[in-house]
Structure formats: C-alpha cells, structure tokens
Amino acid sequence: MNDPANPAARQPGTDATTFATRETVVAKVALALATHRPFAPDAPVVVAVSGGPDSLCLLGTLLALQRAKHAAAPGELVVASFDHGMRGAASAADAQWVADFAAARGLRCVVGQGEALALARDERLSLEDAARRLRYAFLRRVAAKVGAARICLGHTRDDQAETITLNWLRGAGLSGLSGMRPVEGDLVRPLLDVTHAETRAYCAAQGWQPREDPTNTDPRYLRNRIRQVLLPALDAYNPNLRQTLARNADLIAEDERYLDAQTDAAWAATVPPPSLGLRAAHFPPPFRERERESEDGRGVDAPSAVGATDLSVMESGVATDGPGVTTSGGATDGATDGSGVAPSAITFALDALRAQPLALRRRLLRRAAQRLLAQGDANAASAAHTQPTQPLEARHIALLERLIADGHTGAALDLPHGLRARRDYTTLILERNPSAPHQSNAATQPSSTPTTPPPTIPLPVGEGNAQPAGPARMGAWSLPIPGALDIPALGWRLRAARIERPAGLEGDATVDAGTDSADDGGLPPVPTLAPIAQAGTAAQLPHAELRVYVDADLVGPGPLLVRAWRPGDRFMPLGMEQEKKLQDYFADARVPRALRTRLPVVVGPTHILWVATQRIDQRVRLTPATRHILALQCEPLP
C-alpha cells in the first residue's frame, strides 16, 4: 500500500531484480564512503535534495547505511532543498514536496528560495551559473547553521561525463578534464560510480516517485544538449563512453595534484608576498592585497549572491529560521554564510612570470582568476560548481599571453566575469573591475591606449592633529607645522616639524634617521621598514624617501596643504633647473599608474614642495645659506 503520510511513496518492489538493484547501489555508495572516509563519527551532514531521482537515491542510500550501522555512514542527515525561483509555483511545490518527504522520515529539512533569473540579469551570468551560485551559497549557509563540515551532492557518473564534455568544449584545460572529485573540501559526491539509470531504478525499487524538473530537458541549455544529443551520438563509437571518461578523469586528477604542487612553487616565485619589510596593511590602497591564502580550487563560492536574494519562508508548518531561511523538524539558531573578502588585485612580477614554463604560466593565470572571483569562503577550494569550472577559457589565456609578450605599459585587457588585466612597467596585474558587469563571454582585444590621469578626487576632511581648512572641501588637507595629518583615503600619515641643525635627505650620513631626538623637531624615527621600492611589486618605486628636509625660509609660513596628484601638476624635481609635468615625472620614474593617485603631494603657497616617497622641489633644497629646516615625513598608515 502507498504511505498516505508520504506523497512520494508507492508500493515498493519486492522481486529479486529490484532487491539486487537496491543492494548494488547501496554497495557502490558504501564503497565510495569507505574509500574516502569523508565523515567524522556522528557529525551532521547536509544532503542536497531537489526531489529528483539522483538526490532521492543519495538520501535513501545514506539512510540505509545509517540503519545498517556501516562504519563509514554519516551522522545526522539534514536535508537542504533550494527553490531557484525559475518555475514559479511548480518549483515551490517541489521544495514543499521535499520537506514532506524528509518529515515523513523524521529528518530535519531546511528550504531556501532565491531568484536566479534576477541574479543572471543583474550580473550578466548564464542562468545555469546564477542558479549554481545561489544553490551552493545556500547549502553552505545551512551547513554553517547546523554545524556540518560536509555537504553531500547527488552527482552521478552521467553528470561527470556531461561536465567533462562541457569543459572540453569550453577549453578549460586539464583541471576541467579531471571533472568532479568524490571529495573536494566540504563537498562529497558518493554517487560518482552510480549511473542515472541506476538511481531511477533505485527509486522505483523503493516505491518512490521522483519529481521531474522540465528545465532538465530544455534544449536551450548547453548541458541538456550535451546530454540529449552529443553523448548519445558518441555512444555509437564507444558504448562505455561514460566509464571511459570517468576513468580518464581519475588519471588526469592525479596529474593535476602533481601540477598543483608545481604551481604552488611557481606562485611563490612570481607573486611576491604583500611585503618585504612592510606589512600588507602598510600599502596604500589599492595595493593592500586582501588575498586569503587558501588551497586553489576549480570553483569558488559566491555567498554574496544569497545576501542579495530573499530566501522565502515556506508555510505548512515549517518554522522560520532567521531572515528568509526555513527549517522543519529542528530548533532554530543563527546561520552564517562564511563569506569573506577576496583579493581585489593580484600582481605578477613580469620577468619572473615570463621565465616560467608555458604550462605553469597558464596555470598561474587561471589560478589568479579563480582567486579573484572567490569570496573568501573557507571552502573555496571545493566549490567546483559555484563558478564555471574555469573562469578563463583557452582563448582568454591566449590573449593574456599576447599581453605578456607584446603589450606595452598601460595596455589592458577586459576579461569575462568582470576581470581585467593590465601591464605596468615590470608587472602584470589581474584585478576585479567593480565598474564592469560580470560577463561570461569573450574578452576584448588588448587596449593600446594608456589610461588617462584621473580627475580631481573629492577627499574627506583631514584627521589627526590637523585642522582642515577651506581647501579640504576641494580635495586638500591642511598639514600644520608642527603637527601630523592622517589621510585614510590615501593610506598615509604626514608629519611636519622645524629643526635647527644642518640636515640631509633620508639616509644621508649626517642624519641619524633612527634616532628620536629634539633635533628632529620631535618627529618619531623614520619607520624601520624596507624602502617602498623594495616592498614587492605592489609598490615598485625606483626611489623612496620617507623623510626629507627642505629650507623652511624658502617654504614660507605654514600650514601646508596635502592633496593627491591632479592633471596639469608641475614641479621642479631636485637636481633639475626647469619644471616638469608630474605626469611625465611619474612615467620617467616608472611609478605604477594605480599608485600615482595615492601618493601625497605637499603644496606650499606657490608650488609643490614634495611628492611623498619621491623628490622634493629643487627650489626648496638645502643650501649653505640655509638657516632653518623643515622636516617632512610620511608613514604608511597601520
């Protein structure tokens, strides 16, 4: 008889064939779990269930192993079902169906809802990619809520074949051809040795009637066309195609592990640490790299997508769990999504990058793109399907290779997913471009037009000891003499003091830069840091002065003004007899373009006095006639 409390149930099969099917599938799952041992004893596990045959088979086999007290069985099973909002009432009904199915078996169930169509439109993603991002972000929220370290997914051998074929068509490289792994970080796939036909037979043997999602047969989606047209055609050439692809994926995965280790070493050689003497926090933005050091992965999570999406509250007795997450069968408590901050830019030393073998150079570029798109998830290495397997395809890598080989300073390349690459004098910088939409199609050709100087930046009022004057409203701050000024917008602290003894530039033998004395006007010691020129490619400057001395009488009375570079600025660099455009000076000194607008410019009553970290103006240099000295010092903000 059918179970009236369970709309999924019908009369289970009892013949020998049905029994053999059930036992075969359970045995395959048991073997996978025994081989990889992904679960800690008695630890809760999140099981992603859509109501289709694959996910129902996954849940059923895990329950069977629990009942058999199998040594590799998971602890508490928490069902998680996500409605992508793509089919209106039908998809909401599927989610409710899963909740009822779980409740009939005494399982806790968490249901969430998002708007994949809206995310795809806003972020210019494919619908499949948007749905994937929302789903994985939701699953990790549930795992964080229930304290689960693992999330079980119902991917089968057929899904593996489709994924590998899709990656091959897109030119995703070896990592794409290695397909999905049975265990990747927090993700576990116990059904990779089970076929879709077997999951259907298992559900039939159990008397279950899985839900059918019509989008799985919609030919508008490339994966569906691969499933319905391409793979059946290839079966004519190799009837065991899916098994062959899975076996090849296992072989390639072993090669990938070795190449990953080589890529780690190449990464250390080509991406300098955030500092060599300076902490990362000492860099003025945007060079304060916020990269989390984590294992590289073929996919990344996007929990921010869930943050921008309502998770609907289901009815029918399902209790509300926080804002928009619903729970049945268990107590509620706060959930976190584990989100963090990804790097905004990754900088390669160009010569070191060129010196790498081509295979490793390409892997470095792919890894940089993956890390830029990661959202700081502690399991970013495992989220193999939250983003496309490889954000950069072969054609994008070819364009980057051209930029590395032939590009000139200032050349840039727009890439998919809102990424951008640009050439500087000695570096290649990959960065997230917040002003660009996330594109999932082709990159443009490298641009041959260098970027122009930025317009005047409206900057906030000064802090520290300074009292902002009227010009602060125009993007300038007042630096009192003596006194100090913090400028968080630029990432620097400026100090000024009068001293009464002969002095030279920082590093001159006549000046003890490490001594805090009254002769230095009460200034603290020059920071005992490596010069900014040695602080890694994030700030490669050929000369860096953290403290300078100028003729106070030639400067005139204070206060001084501090601002960012403006188009048209001119000064007379020390040692020259005529003025020079500051833009030209930056170019000749090879100051990275992105750093130019972050260097403080100290301005006197009539002209620029000092470009911080660079040079003073020739007209205020110390001479034998100097009687009063003004010391100026800059320090990266902590």
The domains located in the chain, with CATH, are 16-340 (3.40.50.620), 470-636 (3.50.40)
At residue 387, the pLDDT reads 45
Burial class (CB in 10 A: 0-12, 13-18, 19+), 143: buried
pLDDT of residue 375: 52
pTM of the model: 0.57
- Work out whether the CA dihedral 33, 38, 41, 44 comes out positive or negative: negative
Cα separation of 54 and 52, whole Å? 6
Which structure tokens are listed for 520? 């230095």
For residue 145, which phi and psi values (nearest 5 degrees)? Answer: -65, -45
Q: Which of 69, 68, 47, 51 is nearest to 59 (CA)?
A: 47
Q: Provide the β-strand partners of residue 431.
A: 345, 420
Q: What integer pLDDT is reported at residue 17 of this predicted model?
A: 59
Helix (H), strand (E) counts: the chain? 18, 22
**Whole-number pLDDT of residue 595:** 83
CA angle 51, 57, 58 (to 5 degrees): 95
For the chain, 638 residues long, the average pLDDT of each consecutive 10-residue run is 47 58 92 94 95 97 95 95 92 94 96 92 85 94 96 96 91 85 94 95 94 89 92 94 93 92 93 48 31 29 30 29 35 33 81 93 93 60 46 87 84 86 88 60 39 32 34 66 87 86 43 40 54 34 72 83 91 93 89 85 93 93 90 87
What span, in angstroms and rounded, lies between the C-alpha atoms of 147 and 419?
Answer: 34
